[in-house]
Structure 1
Amino acid sequence: MSTQPGASRPQTADSATEDLSTTEAAVAADSLEDPELDAAAAGGRIDREAVHQALLGSWPKERLAGRRNAANPVFWRDDSLGMDAHRERVLEQSRKLVETGTPALAYPVKYGGGNTAGGNIAAFEELVLADPSLQIKGGVQWGLFGAAILHLGTEVHHDRWLREVMSLELPGAFAMTETGHGSDVASIGTTATYDPETEEFIIHTPFRGAWKDYLGNAALHGRAATVFAQLITGGVNHGVHCFFVPLRDDDGNFLPGVGGEDDGLKGGLNGIDNGRLHFTNVRIPRDYLLNRYGDVAADGTYSSPIDSPGRRFFTMLGTLVQGRVSLDGASAVAMRAATAIAVTYGNQRRQFAGGDGDEVTLLDYQRHQRRLLPEVARAYAATFAHDELLRKFHEVFQDIADTPENRADLETLAAALKPVATWQALDSLQLAREACGGAGFLAENRLVGLRADMDVYATFEGDNNVLLQLVGKRLLDDHLARLKQDAVRTVASQVGSRAYRGIGLARLGANVGDFGRFGRSVGWLRDPVHQRQLLAARVEEPIGEIAAALARVRNESKQVQRDVFNQQQHKLIMAGRAYGELLQWESFTRALDRFDPASDTHRILTALRDLYGLEVIERDLGWYLMSGRLTVQRARMVSSYLNRLVAKLRPHAQDLVAAYGYEDAHLRAKIATGAEAERQAEAAQYYEQLRASGDAPVHEKTLRSQRDRR
């Protein structure tokens, strides 16, 4: 277990409160001045190219290739199209995407692929900037349907189907979700019963709730599907397995026993032909079972390299974690796009007269700064965290560090970051839309369209609340394991005892403490050690409280224990979300080490990191006050310092979003092209010339003032 900063000695809740009280006078004396940040704000600037390179992450070549695709008008969304035409356009775009070579990046070289799991997702997620429907349709084809064959099948399946999947000669659907079961995959109703006499599996949906639903490529284009079903042989159910099932003939007609419906118009992503599928005793050959983790012999004997049915199930689903990883990255792309559009517009649009009579730039208003600059900070935090997640994913799926422990960590990290990032993206898009006023509501400025398309990100590849519950359970298991290891028999004394540092997931990167204090002599709130303690306490204390509640009923019936656990569900999910935010803060902190600590870039990005962390803390100030983690006076200082931070970061806002590296062809928002600046310049020139001409009308208020003076 690694030790995090500020965790050199355990603290009890009382000692933590005592420590806060003893430093109250010092903090009160601190005027919250920051000479280094003041100097950077006054004249320094970030090194935009260096920051740009850091934001590109570990696969800059592949990410830039993805951006070139996104900047190509061939792949752009056409807002004038209805659903049917949009679907056909996206299908044709997918075929053209094959020609670029990017869809093949994740596949083995043997089949013409690039053999780079991380590089594939880096390129793929940038397609959000072209059309989210294209990104998701590609994700269905190559990231789900094809990935299921690649990761759950064996060489015979790869040789049979992968080339056609990669070339889109074989469009496919990923048939896991059912109308009656979404996130609870283990309970799906579709069955695959083995018939030893014909050596075939019989795929069947026994009731309406077992229909496969919300499937991309199912309504029109899919010719086959990877179908998840309960494998039954010899009267024994061996749990969920994956099967290759043909759907349609070459003319697009359903094969015998296969049926379905079109899901129709959706709230977004209408370039994808989502639909429902059902099967009535559809027979497929025995070797259409994707049998990497479970096989059935000709006589019906089942075998698996993994004895435990539960571990086998989670191993199979874990191979498909890339969907969650890519959604995390696509959300970071959307956040960057939203903040680039809104900050650019806010830097050009003027509203309401200032003291000198000229109208004020929107971003000069404190409220506008408090709306947009924290979103920029979140975009940076999400970007750096995603790159670390992507590196972990690459290490596992390229067999660099593919261990059960690393796979478990990867699954938990993805389950923590995907919900946080998708919610953040939706919030950023909405805040950016509102910050741009009526202009933000126009489709031509992209914000409403992006938000509509990304709305479903919060529930597919796992409902966010369900995923965070999985994270919370992992945190709780680690907490209980640590207590058991320490031979502690009660958890009550552990509640709020120390920053959460025992989680195995801390292995993701170096300790935050490795970066020291960044050469800054600043107040308590700006100390990264204290920031981390506060963010980590928001994870550990609820987990400790849940453990205590469960300990009190450990000798009760199973039903009582379930009821008590259910009563803790909200707290568990909030702890999972806090953990995802902690991961983002830590990733941002590690990213700071790429820059010279004496540089303006480091100082400004450190302030942006502080803005991210303190804004998260401000959101939960009530909890910090009730838990005794912050005094009232220090809680007030959080908001005061945030106001100061946004004011000091305001001169750098345009540089910070420009460092993303997005061009007009990526954003395609008219209000972010400089058109507003031209309008403002035209208006200013008009009034200047009018005043100079002497023909300017006199305002009624001026006349009244003159009369009153007489």
Structure 2
Amino acid sequence: MTLSASADLSRLLFDGRYEQTHQDLHDLLLDPLFDPREGLTMTEAGKLAYERSRAVHAGLERPREILADPWRLFALAEWPSLVDVSTFSLLMVHYNLAFGTVVEHGARDDLKDLFDELDRLDSFSPYMATELGYGNNVAALRTEAVYDAETETFVLNTPDALAQKYMSYSGFQDVPKLAMVMARLKADGKDHGVFPFLVRISDGNGLCEGVHAAPCPEKPVQGLDNGLTWFDHVRIPRRNLLHGDMGGFDENGVFRPASGNQRKRFLRAMSRILPGRLCVSSAATGAGRASVYIALRYAAQRLTNAPGRNDLPVIEYRSHQRALFTALAKTYAMTLLLNHAKAEFTGAPQDAVPAELNHLVSITKALSTWEMTEVIATCRERCGAQGIFSVNRIADYGSLLQGLVTAEGDNQVLLATTAGQIIAQGGDDEEPGTAPDPQGRDLRDPRFLVEALRYREQELLRTARASMADDSRDRTYFEAWNGTINSGLEMARVRGVRTALESFAAAVDEAREETARAALGPLAALYGLTEVGRDAGWFLARGALTAEQVERLDAEAEALCAELRPYADTLIGGFNLTPELLRAPIAADDYVAAFQQRTGAFGPAAARTPDGS
């Protein structure tokens, strides 16, 4: 059987797993339940997201099976957000963060009833870690669970307003909720650090005794029941502590923490954050692909006037091509970077995650969500007024990305932490690197562009390490880091870009079909040129680019756009998206008819009867 170009691109974009891992999710979302609904209140939209989440759960294997296959979990993160961004949020919190914590730390016989309850989705499980006063600094949280040896229960309490659980889903009190609450375990007068607890916060008839909640202010598009939640001396059974291998009670009823410090146990308790970052990146790249798909299909139909011509599709303008083909290149690059990170994650030991994998996943999360935020904004703008309407999806994806850049670690904080760890790994005696010789090098050659990016990454890292190690000035550690942090952030970002371009170049080499390879080559070059062009002055000053090459950057990008124009449909064909799935009128084969049908504003010709009268 002959492999088509789009099928070959699909193989590369979905790592050869589309049919086995993604296809049924695509098909499940064709159900009319996922058709767009307009005029809903935020509460009605939120309740619909819960209904849709139950439908996805009912149409797939059990959550415990999905968690056993990370590729399947990542696929689940990727698809539902394309038709309902709120459904994605509910599913990922329940499956990965909350139930994933139960699977990793609480798969015990005495918890089987609660395990099965969550596996059946009889109750949803909010994940309550972040507190109002501490943001991402979850290690400093103040919610406490004090052990009462007499009753063999924990007393869960919120000591003050800053310790209120923030943003987790507690507003719909008629939805049964069995929350995963991160709290400071205190026993025998000792603080043992942060542990996960299962806490029933609502039973379908209202909040449980001692549990209080207030809704957060309204968010655009996502009508979920985010709230502030606090606990007033709520008693929970001892068995609801998910201690896993982080400790336990001895035969005398005394809590014994596992060896190691509190931070080590805390990181173990928060183990679902790492796959959660890959889930967030999956949703981001999925939304980016859908946005580019919609925008390019619309651009091929949207007619405009041109000098000396009438009725020219707007995609024929080089200005439109430059914007959307660059967005397409970034979307391919981030998808391939994410595939690389997923493969590294699934192939690594989960009980001892290597530092390099942690760095890769964190950089991938930050870079992909930032890049897809920019891609979606570009696509929305290039679709003009049509891009504003929720029914055309792109505006809703923009709202989704606003949440994703913060989810599982705010991007700037996450990237700064990662940069600090990378900088701390090295010594202070590194010599300056040698810039790649640009003479005679082809600006379109991804290997040359990778060399340039690696050189910038290494130089930023070297200077950051030297700055931190400079003891010639009287500085505190904070002052030293504060003077280095921005170059550290840029170093970590460039490492992600370089890895993405390497993955892109590998995909070009791995393409089996001639047209697919012909389309991928210039797209990879466009991505690399765009990234090197961001810092052209830096490369020029260090001899990594010639003045002539810098002057040619724009002309080369323009020429690549012209080469890519015949392949646009083929390239988005690899996304395995359809107008039937996205239900966006401007992505339809005839956007005018689809938009009129959606609005009910049929023109005179459309209003005629079948016999023409």
TM over 0.5, shorter chain: yes
What is the TM-score when the length of structure 2 is the normalising length? 0.90
Deviation at 1:428, TM superposition (A): 1.4
State the match for 1:671 in structure 2.
Answer: 586
Question: After superposition, what is the alpha-carbon deviation per residue over 1:140-169, rounded to whole angstroms, capped at 9, x for unaligned?
Answer: 222222111112223236523222112211
State the match for 1:686 in structure 2.
Answer: none
1:363 counterpart (315, 325, 329): 315
Distance 1:274 1:219 in 2: 9
Distance 1:391 1:69 in 2: 26
Q: Does the aligned pair in 2 maintain the 1:173–1:218 contact within 8 Å?
A: no
The code of the aligned residue for 1:87 comes to G
1:140 counterpart (93, 103, 119): 93
Matched, 1:327 2:244: no
Distance 1:544 1:318 in 2: 31
Q: Does the aligned pair in 1 maintain the 2:122–2:176 contact within 8 Å?
A: no
Q: Do the aligned partners of residues 201 and 75 (structure 1) sit closer, same or farther apart at CA in structure 2, a change above 3 Å counting? A: same
Distance 1:419 1:180 in 2: 23
Structure 1 gap segments, 5+ residues each: 1-44, 484-488, 500-521, 680-710
Matched, 1:417 2:376: no
State the match for 2:201 in structure 1.
Answer: 247
The code of the aligned residue for 1:450 comes to Y
Q: Does the aligned pair in 2 maintain the 1:152–1:291 contact within 8 Å?
A: yes
Matched, 1:649 2:564: yes
Distance 2:139 2:163 in 1: 12
The code of the aligned residue for 1:211 comes to Q
Deviation at 1:294, TM superposition (A): 2.2
Deviation at 1:302, TM superposition (A): 4.0
Distance 1:69 1:145 in 2: 24
Distance 1:295 1:656 in 2: 52
State the match for 1:73 in structure 2.
Answer: 32
Distance 1:627 1:178 in 2: 46
Structure 2 gap segments, 5+ residues each: 595-613
Q: Does the aligned pair in 2 maintain the 1:59–1:122 contact within 8 Å?
A: no
1:527 counterpart (430, 441, 445): 445
1:404 counterpart (328, 349, 352): 352
Deviation at 1:126, TM superposition (A): 0.8
Deviation at 1:186, TM superposition (A): 0.8
Within-5 A mapping of 1:387-466: 387-396=339-348, 401-402=349-350, 404-406=352-354, 408-466=355-413
Q: Does the aligned pair in 2 maintain the 1:240–1:313 contact within 8 Å?
A: yes
Q: Does the aligned pair in 2 maintain the 1:267–1:453 contact within 8 Å?
A: no
1:593 counterpart (494, 509, 516): 509
Deviation at 1:498, TM superposition (A): 7.1
Q: Does the aligned pair in 2 maintain the 1:195–1:201 contact within 8 Å?
A: yes
Matched, 1:617 2:535: no
Matched, 1:166 2:119: yes
State the match for 2:10 in structure 1.
Answer: 52
State the match for 2:602 in structure 1.
Answer: none
Q: Classify the secondary structure of the residue corresponding to 2:531.
A: helix
Deviation at 1:250, TM superposition (A): 4.3
Q: Does the aligned pair in 2 maintain the 1:176–1:228 contact within 8 Å?
A: yes
1:381 counterpart (333, 345, 350): 333
Q: Does the aligned pair in 2 maintain the 1:146–1:165 contact within 8 Å?
A: yes
Question: After superposition, what is the alpha-carbon deviation per residue over 1:583-603, rounded to whole angstroms, capped at 9, x for unaligned?
Answer: 221222222232249x23213
Q: Does the aligned pair in 1 maintain the 2:94–2:124 contact within 8 Å?
A: yes
Within-5 A mapping of 1:23-38: none
Distance 1:192 1:589 in 2: 52
Q: Does the aligned pair in 2 maintain the 1:416–1:580 contact within 8 Å?
A: yes
Within-5 A mapping of 1:335-354: 335-354=288-307
Distance 1:410 1:77 in 2: 39
The code of the aligned residue for 1:653 comes to A
Question: After superposition, what is the alpha-carbon deviation per residue over 1:241-263, rounded to whole angstroms, capped at 9, x for unaligned?
Answer: 11111212341x22222111111
Q: Do the aligned partners of residues 210 and 495 (structure 1) sit closer, same or farther apart at CA in structure 2, a change above 3 Å counting? A: farther
Q: Does the aligned pair in 1 maintain the 2:21–2:71 contact within 8 Å?
A: no
Aligned length: 587
Question: After superposition, what is the alpha-carbon deviation per residue over 1:276-334, rounded to whole angstroms, capped at 9, x for unaligned?
Answer: 11012222222211011323426564434441332222233233322211110111111
State the match for 1:659 in structure 2.
Answer: 574
What is the TM-score when the length of structure 1 is the normalising length? 0.78
Matched, 1:563 2:510: no
2:142 counterpart (189, 196, 204): 189
Deviation at 1:77, TM superposition (A): 4.1
Q: Do the aligned partners of residues 261 and 532 (structure 1) sit closer, same or farther apart at CA in structure 2, a change above 3 Å counting? A: same
Deviation at 1:431, TM superposition (A): 0.7
Distance 1:337 1:617 in 2: 26
Deviation at 1:237, TM superposition (A): 2.0
Deviation at 1:606, TM superposition (A): 1.6
Deviation at 1:79, TM superposition (A): 2.9
Q: Do the aligned partners of residues 666 and 538 (structure 1) sit closer, same or farther apart at CA in structure 2, a change above 3 Å counting? A: farther
Q: Do the aligned partners of residues 200 and 556 (structure 1) sit closer, same or farther apart at CA in structure 2, a change above 3 Å counting? A: farther
Q: Do the aligned partners of residues 677 and 347 (structure 1) sit closer, same or farther apart at CA in structure 2, a change above 3 Å counting? A: farther
Q: Do the aligned partners of residues 291 and 344 (structure 1) sit closer, same or farther apart at CA in structure 2, a change above 3 Å counting? A: same
Matched, 1:117 2:35: no
Q: Classify the secondary structure of the residue corresponding to 1:193.
A: strand
RMSD: 2.5
The code of the aligned residue for 1:130 comes to V
Higher gyration radius (CA)? 1
1:605 counterpart (516, 520, 526): 520
1:87 counterpart (29, 46, 50): 46
Q: Does the aligned pair in 1 maintain the 2:54–2:121 contact within 8 Å?
A: yes
Question: After superposition, what is the alpha-carbon deviation per residue over 1:633-686, rounded to whole angstroms, capped at 9, x for unaligned?
Answer: 22222222111111111111122112212111222221121224879xxxxxxx
Distance 2:54 2:186 in 1: 38
Q: Do the aligned partners of residues 250 and 86 (structure 1) sit closer, same or farther apart at CA in structure 2, a change above 3 Å counting? A: closer
Q: Does the aligned pair in 2 maintain the 1:331–1:421 contact within 8 Å?
A: yes
Identity level (%): 26
Higher relative contact order (CA 8 A, sep 6+): 1
Q: Does the aligned pair in 1 maintain the 2:392–2:586 contact within 8 Å?
A: yes
State the match for 1:472 in structure 2.
Answer: 419
State the match for 1:18 in structure 2.
Answer: none
Q: Classify the secondary structure of the residue corresponding to 2:242.
A: coil
Q: Classify the secondary structure of the residue corresponding to 2:580.
A: helix
Q: Classify the secondary structure of the residue corresponding to 1:178.
A: coil
Q: Does the aligned pair in 2 maintain the 1:625–1:631 contact within 8 Å?
A: yes
Distance 1:79 1:411 in 2: 41
Q: Does the aligned pair in 1 maintain the 2:12–2:511 contact within 8 Å?
A: no
Distance 1:188 1:147 in 2: 21
